[in-house]
Amino acid sequence: MITVLANPHRFMAFSRWAAPLFGLAALALLGWGLTLGLAVPPDYQQGDTVRIMFVHVPAAWTAMLAYGCLGAASFFSLVFRHAVADAAARAAAPLGAGFTAAALVTGSLWGRPMWGTWWAWGDSRLVSVLVLFLLFLGYIALRASIEDEAKAARAAEILALVGLINLPVIKFSVEWWNTLHQGESIFRRGGPTIAAVYLQPLFLMGAGYFCAFAALWLTRTRAEVRRRRAAGLALRASS
Amino acid sequence: MKYAAFIWAAYGSSALALSWMIIDTLVRGWAARRALERLEREVA
C-alpha cells in the first residue's frame, strides 16, 4: 500500500476520493459522539466535567497518531526517498500541533476544577505532551529555517525520528512515575475502568477525530504535492 | 450545570482548533491548485 501511494499520480488518484470520504465519516461520527456525550449522566466523582473527556482524550490520541504518522513518513522519506512521504510528513506537522494544543488546553480546563490547578510542572504526562507540542513546532521551524528544501527535509526527518522516543514516554508516563494525571483507564490489561455509558461516546469521538485527521492530512499532502509540481514547472519555465 | 464555563470553554477551544485546521487546509489546498493550474497554462 505504501509503495503504491509513493507514486504521486497514484496518491492523487487515491486521495481524491478518500479525503472527502474520511471528511464525511468524521462529520457523522463527531455528530453522533457529541449527541451521546452531551446526553450522558454526570459522573459520580467528576460530575459534568466528565464531558470534557470526550474532546480532551480524542485530541490527545490524535496528537499521538499524528506524530506516529510524521515519524513513519519521515522514515520512508529518509530511507526509501519516497517523494510523497516527505510531503506527507510536512503535512502532518501543523495538524499534530493543532491537536496537541487542543489536548493541552482542554486538559488544563479539566484540571482546574478537578485538581485545583491549570498546570503541574512535576507531572510527567503533562510535560511529555508539552514536549510533543514542542517537537511539532521544532519540526515546522526547522523546515522553515533552512532554504535548501532537501537539506531542510533531511534535518527535520532526523528530528522527527529522534522524537518518536517521546510516544512510549507519553503512554507509560502514568505507570513509570507518580503523576497527578490518573493512571491508564481505557487500554489496559483487565479492560477499561470507565463505565460503558462513557466509553461509547468516547470511542465515537475518537474515531471522528481520527477520520478528521485523515481527511485533513490527505488534503494537505495533496496541496504539498501540487506545490512541488508547481515549483518544478516554474523552474522549467525559467530555464 | 456546575463548572459549565470550563466545559463550554473546552468544547469552544476544540471547535476553534478544528476550525483553524480545516480553514487553513482548505485555503492551502485551493491556493496550491490555483498556482499549479496557472503555471500549467503558462507552460502549455
**Contact present, A98 and B23 (Cβ < 8 Å):** no
Residue A159 lies in a domain: yes
pTM of the complete model: 0.94
B21·A233 Cβ contact <8 A: no
Residue A104 lies in a domain: yes
The band of A191, judged by pLDDT with boundaries at 50, 70 and 90, is confident
Residue A87 lies in a domain: yes
Helix, strand, coil abundance in chain B, percent, nearest 5: 90, 0, 10
Residue A44 lies in a domain: no
Residue A11 lies in a domain: no
pLDDT digits (tens, 9 = 90+) for B4-44: 999 999 999 999 999 999 999 999 999 999 999 998 888 87
Residue A203 lies in a domain: yes
B28·A59 Cβ contact <8 A: no
Q: Which of A47, A95, A216 sits opposite B3 (nearest CB)?
A: A47
A98·B10 Cβ contact <8 A: no
Predicted complex ipTM: 0.93
Residue A80 lies in a domain: yes
Which residue would you say has higher pLDDT here, A21 or A179? A21
Overall domain count for chain A: 1
Residue A1 is predicted with a pLDDT of: 65
Residue A10 lies in a domain: no
Residues 6+ apart with CB under 8 A from A210: A58, A61, A62, A65
- Domain around A95: 51-229
Q: Determine the distance in angstroms separating the CA of A135 from the nearest CA of chain B, rounded to an integer.
A: 18
- Residues of B contacting chain A (CB within 8 angstroms): 1-4, 6-7, 9-11, 13-14, 17-18, 20-22, 24-26, 28-29, 31-33, 35-36, 39-40, 42-43
**Contact present, A30 and A198 (Cβ < 8 Å):** no
Q: Which of B7, B29, B39 sits opposite A52 (nearest CB)?
A: B7
